[in-house]
């Protein structure tokens, strides 16, 4: 994640049609008040942005809805040439719980980098997608990685990546681009449910109801506190499906 810039702008909805290991109790399930960000039918309220394309262009029909599942599909790709993509939800948020069930499917598109195999993620507190450059790889954001195992060994999900950002990990400011959180490994194409609690610059990750990590002090590389932004999912050369993406707003 090397090419990015950040424009500090008022975060307003855009309009497009179409840390450390903790043993604390998991977040309680409160069904009332949850917002379904993905409606199970189409990409209403979401907008794609791929490297080399304008905002709103769904390059090679990569983001699709198949059988009620939001799908990152590479069946129309011959080869990857750096066209990383993201799908942005229309509304910025600051305090919320994000819950999703996902699974990896199929094989990585030809030409994809090794680290991107069975790799996706939620990019949180993203910069306004209208400010993203045409050749910009990734938005300034905090990435909560969704990772799948390769059949053996450890490859824990819910690691952290920091394109254009930094944060306090285990009580100290770190500028590491990738932070291993010690999350569980899920091999195969099984469904996995994760949840992220966000309270301004404070984050908590959970996998299958168990807390994986907590951290705070999220900020831009220049030290500006990062407490609000857009939500996006990735297209990083690995096919994946989302059964649900839902959000529970929290009081500030």
pLDDT in tens, 103-154: 999 999 999 999 999 999 999 999 999 999 999 999 999 999 999 999 999 9
pLDDT in tens, 146-190: 999 999 999 999 999 999 999 999 999 999 999 999 999 999 999
- Name which of 103, 72, 98 is nearest 246 in CA terms: 98
Q: Considering the domain boundaries, does residue 5 fall inside one? A: no
Q: What is the DSSP string of 171-190?
A: TEEE--SEE---PPP--TT-
Which structural domain, as residue segments, surrounds residue 184?
Answer: 35-157+164-249
Q: Considering the domain boundaries, does residue 9 fall inside one? A: no
User: Taking residues 228-243, what's their average pLDDT?
Assistant: 98
Q: Residue with structure tokens 């990857």?
A: 80
Q: Considering the domain boundaries, does residue 145 fall inside one? A: yes
- Name which of 36, 31, 92, 23 is nearest 247 in CA terms: 36
Distances (CA, A) of 35 to 38, 159, 222, 227: 9, 25, 33, 20
What's the domain count of the chain? Answer: 1
Q: Considering the domain boundaries, does residue 3 fall inside one? A: no
| CATH at residue 89 | 2.60.120.560
Q: Considering the domain boundaries, does residue 29 fall inside one? A: no
Asked if 194 and 139 touch (Cβ cutoff 8 Å), the reply is no
Q: Say whether 131 sits in a helix, a strand or coil.
A: helix
The model carries a pTM of: 0.89
Q: Say whether 148 sits in a helix, a strand or coil.
A: coil
């Amino acid at each position: 994640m090397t090419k990015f810039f950040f424009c500090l702008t008022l975060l307003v909805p855009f309009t497009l049609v179409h840390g450390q290991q903790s043993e604390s109790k998991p977040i309680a399930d409160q069904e009332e008040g949850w917002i379904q960000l993905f409606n199970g039918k189409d990409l209403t309220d979401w907008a794609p942005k791929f490297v080399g394309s304008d905002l709103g262009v769904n390059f090679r029909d990569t983001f699709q809805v198949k059988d009620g599942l939001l799908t990152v599909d590479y069946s129309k790709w011959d080869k990857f040439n750096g066209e990383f993509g993201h799908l942005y939800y229309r509304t910025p948020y600051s305090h919320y719980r994000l819950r999703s069930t996902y699974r990896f499917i199929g094989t990585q598109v030809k030409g994809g980098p090794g680290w991107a195999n069975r790799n996706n993620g939620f990019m949180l507190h993203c910069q306004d997608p209208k400010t993203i450059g045409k050749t910009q790889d990734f938005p300034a954001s905090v990435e909560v990685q969704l990772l799948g195992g390769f059949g053996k060994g450890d490859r824990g999900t819910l690691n952290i990546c920091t394109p254009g950002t930094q944060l306090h990990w285990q009580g100290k400011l770190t500028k590491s681009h990738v932070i291993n959180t010690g999350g569980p490994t899920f091999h195969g194409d099984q469904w996995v449910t994760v949840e992220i609690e966000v309270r301004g610059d404070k984050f908590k990750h959970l996998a299958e109801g168990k807390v994986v990590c907590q951290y705070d002090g999220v900020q831009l590389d220049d030290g500006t506190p990062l407490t609000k932004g857009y939500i996006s999912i990735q297209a990083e050369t690995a096919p994946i499906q989302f059964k649900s993406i839902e959000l529970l707003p929290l009081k500030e």
